Chain A
Amino acid sequence: MNPLKRFSPGTFAAVLAVYLFYTGSVSKYDLITGFIVAIIVSFLIGHWLIENDLKLFSPKRWFYAALYGLRYFLVEETKTHIDVAKRIFTLKANPGIIRIPLDVESDYGKVLVANSITNTPGTVVIDISDDGKWLYVHWIDVSTLDEEEIKRKVIAYFEEYAKRIFD
C-alpha cells in the first residue's frame, strides 16, 4: 500500500493530543517525542482507528458533538434520574428485554447510541446483533411493545445526533 495513503492524520492528531494531555506539559522535548510517537503509531496502524479523516476535522460534527453532550448530560440524564428515583420509592417497575432497530451506519455512532442508553438509568444495553442492526436493551418499564414507540422512548434523540456526528 502507498505509504502516504497509509498515513492517517486523524490518528496522528489523536495520539499527539493524548500524549501531550497525559504528559501535562508542552515543552520542546514533549513536542518532539510526541511527534515521533504519533508518526510511528499513525504509520503502523494506518486507518484502523479512523477510517475517514475528514470526518474528524469537520467543525460541524464537533459542534453537534458538543451540543449533544450538553443536551444529554443536562436534560436526558436529569429526566431519567428523576424517573428512576420515583420508581425506587413507589416500587413501580415492569422490567423486560426489548429489541430496537438501529439506523445509524458507522460503528462509532452505534457505540455512541449504545453507551448513551446504558448510561441513562433504567436502561441497559445487553447485546448488539452481529450485523449491528439490532440492539437488545433491558428496560425498567416496558410500557409498550410497539417498535416506533419503544424507539422514541428509549433512544430519544441519541440516534439523530449519532447520525449527524459520525455518519
Chain B
Amino acid sequence: MKRDVFVAISFLMAFLLISYAITVKDVLGMAENPLRPLGGFYLRHAFAPSNLTSHSPEVVTAIVWNYRGFDTLFETFVFFLSIMGALSIFRLTEEQEKEVRSLESREPHRHMDLITRATTKLVVIMIVSISASIALHGHLTPGGGFQGGSAMAVAALLLFAAFSKFTLERKGLTLRHVITAYAFGLALILATAIAPVFLYDGRLLQINLLPGETGLLNLDVGEYIAVTFGFLMVFLVLGISEWIFKVILRGEIE
C-alpha cells in the first residue's frame, strides 16, 4: 500500500517535471518551430486536389496507410505470421478436434449470473457498433482498422468472460469460420495493395490512384476484419482448457 502511493506520487512528479521542461523551459525547442517541414508536407498534401494527395482529411490514417503504407503492410504480415505461429503450435487434426469437443462436453461449465449476462449483451452490441464506426470512419475522423479491430477484440473477450467459448461456437464462430473471415480480411488488404499496379499502371500500394477514398476505406475495412478475427482466433485456440489439450497432444486418451 505504501509502495503504491510512493509509485503513484513519483509518476505524478515525473509527469509534472517533463511537462514543465517541455512547455515552460522549452527543452525540445518546439516553441519557435511548432511545425516541422515533414509535418507541414503531410498537412498540406493529405487532403489536397494535387497529385500527392491521399483523399483523406484524417492525416494520421493517410500517413499510416499511404505515405508510410509499407510499414503498416508489413506490420499486418507480422501479425499474420505470429497468429500462424500460434495456430501451428496449437494445431489439432479433425479427429483431435472431435475428441476435444467430446471432452469439453463432459467438463462442467457455467456462465456468469443473469445480471452480468444481460448487461454484457448490451455492452457487446454497443462495442460492435462503435468499433465498426471507428473502422469505417478511419479515413474521415481519428480511428482506423487496427483501432476498430482491437475494440472488437474486447467484445470477444467480454463474451468469453460472461458467457463461454461454447456460446460463441454455437453462434457459428468456430475456428474454421474465423480463419475464413481472417483470410477474407487479408485478401481485401492484398487486393487493394496490388490493385494500382494492374488497374492504373502505378506502383504497389499507390492507393491514391484509386478513385476517391476507396483505397483507404478498403484497407481500413480489411485491417478491421483481419485484426478482429485474428484476435478471436487466438482466443478460441487458447480457450481450450489446458489439460484437455495436453491429454490429446500426448495421445493419452483411451
**Cβ < 8 Å to A, chain B residues 10-30:** none
A132 to B136, CA, bound (A): 40
A14 to B171, CA, bound (A): 20
What size tier do the contact residues of chain A reach? 20 to 34
Given A111-B115, A130-B113, residue A45 in contact with residue B129 (CB < 8 A):
no
A15 to B122, CA, bound (A): 10
Among the listed B129, B137, B140, which residue makes an inter-chain contact with A18, where contact means beta carbons less than 8 Å apart? Answer: B129
In contact, A128 and B113 (Cβ under 8 angstroms): yes
**Cβ < 8 Å to B, chain A residues 2-27:** 11, 14-15, 18-19, 22-23
In contact, A128 and B129 (Cβ under 8 angstroms): no
Residues of A within 8 A of B161 (CB): none
Residues of B within 8 A of A110 (CB): 114-115, 118
Residues of A within 8 A of B115 (CB): 110-111, 114-115, 125, 128
Task: Confirm or deny: B214 has a beta carbon within 8 angstroms of a beta carbon on chain A.
Answer: no
**Cβ < 8 Å to A, chain B residues 124-159:** 125-126, 128-130, 132-133, 136-137, 140-141
Task: Confirm or deny: A78 has a beta carbon within 8 angstroms of a beta carbon on chain B.
Answer: no
9 closest Cβ pairs, A-B complex: A18-B129, A37-B132, A111-B118, A33-B136, A107-B118, A15-B129, A19-B129, A22-B130, A22-B133
- Residues of chain B whose beta carbon lies under 8 Å from any beta carbon of chain A: 113-115, 117-119, 121-122, 125-126, 128-130, 132-133, 136-137, 140-141, 171-172
- 17 examples of A-B residue contacts, CB within 8 angstroms: A11-B125, A15-B129, A18-B126, A18-B129, A22-B129, A22-B130, A33-B132, A33-B136, A34-B133, A37-B129, A41-B125, A41-B129, A45-B171, A108-B118, A110-B114, A111-B115, A111-B118
